[in-house]
Structure 1
Amino acid sequence: MKNTNKELVKRYYDEIWNKQNRVAIDELLDDDITFRGTLNIETQGKKEFEEYMTNILTAIPNLYHGIEMMVEENGVIAVRAVYNGTHKGKLFNYEPTNNRIKYNGASFFRFKDGKISNIWVLGDLISLYEQLEQKK
């Protein structure tokens, strides 16, 4: 059975991020995947994407990505997502706070030959920064 683009995106969030299944990177992402994240980080290829993933999960090891809405138009999928977890490692210039964080974002996915070829993410950094700056 061939994956639909929506199924690929659901698996991207569930397998790669929520289950932290690195084998799924090979299964779901194109070899030349381009990724641009909210954190002003751009990656090219699976290896750089996996390094980005490692950095984020070092900072927020229980990071969970939830899909709130998904729309497909002209072969592009847009997702409104919510991200949450606990800040346990250095993120940006913020030392670990142990704060629970939750913020929203939007991601745009493009596809090539049945795999995800491009991801562009925009997250609500103001909300994230406010949560990282809160003292307990």
Structure 2
Amino acid sequence: MSLAPQTEQNRRTVARYWDEVWTKGNVSAIDDFCADDFKQFYPLHGAISGKENVKKMLSGFRESFPNLSFTLLLPIPLIAENDYVVARWIGGGKHTGVPCLDLPLGGLPVPNSGREMRFSGTTIFTLRDGKIVDEVGEESGLLALQQLGLLAQKKK
């Protein structure tokens, strides 16, 4: 069964957005793929409104984790239906850059802690008129916070 033309276009838009923004770190591409009223939510960073604020958060995150990378889980396709696209992904990086204070438990107040995080997640994108208006993700933030030493792991 093939997707409706707009649904397929939305799937391609999210795939290109993911590659440019999350994989390559090209935050300026947000202007190409996202609506002016774009909103983003991930538990590790909270709710962010507006393209400029999202670009600022992502740029800062990459300054703290220069080798940060996020990859879509393939061959599992992006799931697309009407104005929604769902993606499964893996990601992470090593803190070798500036202090990272944009985390729910404060963050890493010193530069280059060497701490590393690897985690996975699911993101739901909502599109309108071919542009992403909403990006809501659920990442394994608890695992990331434990790996960064910001949250104690339960002893077995």
Give the TM-score normalised by structure 2: 0.76
Q: CA separation in 2, counterparts of 1:38 and 1:8?
A: 24
Q: CA separation in 2, counterparts of 1:126 and 1:25?
A: 27
Name the % identity. Answer: 26
Counterpart mapping for 1:27-66 below 5 A: 27-66=32-71
* Per-residue CA distance 1:31-78 (angstroms, 9 max, x = gap): 110111122521212111111112221222221111114212342111
Across the two proteins, how many residue pairs are aligned to each other? 133
Q: Equivalent residue of 2:66, what SS?
A: coil
Q: Where does residue 94 of structure 2 map in the other structure?
A: 86
* Per-residue CA distance 1:72-124 (angstroms, 9 max, x = gap): 23421111111121123324223253123210111000001111111001110
Q: Equivalent residue of 1:4, what SS?
A: helix
Q: Which has the higher strand share?
A: 1
Runs of 4+ residues over 3 Å off in structure 1? none
Q: Where does residue 23 of structure 2 map in the other structure?
A: 18
Larger Rg: 2
Q: Check 1:40–1:23 CA distance in 2 against 1; reply closer, same or farther (3 A cut).
A: closer
Q: CA separation in 1, counterparts of 2:139 and 2:27?
A: 23
Give the TM-score normalised by structure 1: 0.85
Q: Where does residue 76 of structure 1 map in the other structure?
A: 84
Measured on the aligned residues, the alpha-carbon RMSD in Å equals: 2.1
Q: CA separation in 2, counterparts of 1:46 and 1:73?
A: 24
Q: CA separation in 2, counterparts of 1:94 and 1:49?
A: 18
Stretches of structure 1 that go unaligned for 5 or more consecutive residues are none
Q: CA separation in 2, counterparts of 1:53 and 1:115?
A: 19
Q: Check 1:23–1:90 CA distance in 2 against 1; reply closer, same or farther (3 A cut).
A: closer
Q: CA separation in 2, counterparts of 1:94 and 1:26?
A: 28
The one-letter code of the counterpart of 1:100 is E
Residues 27 and 59 in structure 2, CA contact (< 8 A), matched pair in contact too: no
